[in-house]
A and B are shown apart, each in its own frame.
Chain A
């Protein structure tokens, strides 16, 4: 089955801990994206990557880091520097030559 998977669906961490969210796709898509969603604020772009070993900051990159070592994987690390990490995180990907973003099911992160 082709698709975008995000794991886990729910994640709980203590304040001060780094946490890594997984995003994997087997669609052979070139570009991948990370968004953060908060109630009433829509989706905000954290990081995106168009090719392996390259990525760019989005609008709210502070306190986050990413890597793109493989085409199919784009993990997001929420560091302890992120002041308000509790949110719903969505990963998306885009095939080469297309302009449509396809989304994974999301991970809800709760930090207490």
Chain B
């Protein structure tokens, strides 16, 4: 069975500081990996995705993530956080199976940005 662990429930960073959100996954084959962001009361917006190829992927809003197969990780990073980055971040894993493109989500990391 596939699963995703986001070990940090809450993270607080100062504006301008760097950010790393952790994500560990379990999946039986080559995974498709995603990071989504959610503002309060809103839907999820895709930040970036990894399917294959270069293990460092770039996304929107200056975010990037690195796929490390040996560590089963897909951590999200940003070099300098802006106050508008405060939101909840979800990591997800999936892949094409006979049952379609089902995703499994982590429980999320709430990011607070201090001015």
* Cross-chain pair count, CB within 8 angstroms: 57
Judging by beta carbons under 8 Å apart, are B43 and A106 in contact? yes
The tally of residues in B whose CB lies under 8 Å from a CB in A reads: 26
Judging by beta carbons under 8 Å apart, are B101 and A43 in contact? no
Contact (A102, B46) CB under 8 Å given A40-B9, A42-B107, A43-B90 = yes
The tally of residues in A whose CB lies under 8 Å from a CB in B reads: 28
Contact (A48, B100) CB under 8 Å given A102-B46, A103-B43 = yes
Contact (A94, B42) CB under 8 Å given A40-B107, A42-B106, A42-B107 = no
Judging by beta carbons under 8 Å apart, are B41 and A106 in contact? yes
**Is chain A's interface secondary structure helix, strand, loop, or mixed overall?**
strand
Chain B interfacial positions (CB closer than 8 Å to A): 4, 9, 32, 34, 36, 41-46, 49, 51, 90, 94-96, 99-103, 105-108
Chain A interfacial positions (CB closer than 8 Å to B): 4, 6, 31, 35, 40-45, 48, 50, 56, 58, 88, 90, 92, 94, 98-106, 108
